[in-house]
Amino acid sequence: MLGAIHNKVELSSQELSSLLQTSQQTASRYLLELDTQQMVTRELGVKKQLIQITSTGAEVLRKEYLSYEQVFNLPSKVVFKGTVVSGMGEGKYYTEQKGYAEQFKTQLGFVAYPGTFNVEIEYVERNKLRLLRDCGGIQISEFEAENRTFGGVICFKAAINGKEGAVVLPKRSHYATTLECISPFHLRETLGVRDGDVVEVAVFLR
């Protein structure tokens, strides 16, 4: 905040200590440590030292800055990492229902390859999933067929290891740890992955 990212700044350990509300010794130690870690460069004079933040240091700060941005500004995409798992073949049954398939076509703009591509995510990431639900998404309505009701689902366009697709979340049953993906492509084949492989699912919020 004194501008040490842009220039060398004069900063004695005494000055730093009063800015940080700590002792001169601790401030001195901080500067030494930051120097050792290559976060700042120092030019020691007899009375002062010139401090400048290195590119390494600036990078660390920028990362922290971006973290704060993520806290306040809702991101336009959320990235999940997870492992490929097999469903119980249900996916195929559902995606082949005309009621779903036609809505996918009009709302998502592609004809879904039969079956779902399932990605198991970390337990902690479920919070991200919840966040996702709050962002709306593409509504797929419930419909009647074969003497039963097929429930409504929420979709988000997504990229699975870069390949076009979408994530499908049932409107009920909140607490899943599996992302069900559909795509115009046969993802297992196109991506060349099998059960246990790690894939990245980027979900687009708007």
Interface residues with DNA (CB under 7 A)? 12-14, 22-26, 28-29, 31-32, 44, 46-49
- Smallest distance, Å, CB 166 to DNA? 31
How big is the CA angle at 80 (ends 193 and 187), to the nearest 5 degrees? 30
Residue 81 touches a second copy, criterion: CB under 8 A = no
Q: Which is nearer to a second copy, 92 or 174 (CB)?
A: 174
Q: How long, in residues, is the chain?
A: 206
Residues 122-181 that bind a second copy (CB under 8 A): 123-124, 126-128, 130-131, 134
- Smallest distance, Å, CB 15 to a second copy? 5
- Residue 61 binding target from a second copy, DNA, none, CB below 5 to 8 Å by type: a second copy
Q: Which is nearer to a second copy, 53 or 191 (CB)?
A: 53
- What is the rounded distance in angstroms from the CA atom of residue 99 to the CA atom of residue 143? 6
- What is the rounded distance in angstroms from the CA atom of residue 102 to the CA atom of residue 88? 23
Q: Which is nearer to a second copy, 132 or 167 (CB)?
A: 132
Residue 43 touches a second copy, criterion: CB under 8 A = no
Structure tokens at 91: 């996916």
- Check if the beta carbon of residue 143 is closer than 8 Å to that of residue 150: yes
By CB neighbour count within 10 A (0-12 exposed, 13-18 middle, 19+ buried), where does 6 fall? Answer: exposed
Q: Which is nearer to DNA, 121 or 140 (CB)?
A: 121
What one-character-per-residue DSSP string does 120-166 give? EE-GGGHHHHHHHHHT--EEE--EEETTEEEPPEEEEEEEETTEEEE
- Smallest distance, Å, CB 153 to a second copy? 21
- Residue 23 binding target from DNA, a second copy, none, CB below 5 to 8 Å by type: DNA
Residue 65 touches a second copy, criterion: CB under 8 A = yes
Q: Which is nearer to DNA, 130 or 186 (CB)?
A: 130
- What is the rounded distance in angstroms from the CA atom of residue 116 to the CA atom of residue 87? 8
- What is the rounded distance in angstroms from the CA atom of residue 26 to the CA atom of residue 120? 46
In 13-96, the DSSP E strands lie at 40-44, 49-53, 77-85
Q: Which is nearer to a second copy, 21 or 70 (CB)?
A: 70
Contact footprint for a second copy (CB under 8 A): 1-7, 9-11, 15, 18-19, 61-62, 64-65, 67-72, 74, 123-124, 126-128, 130-131, 134
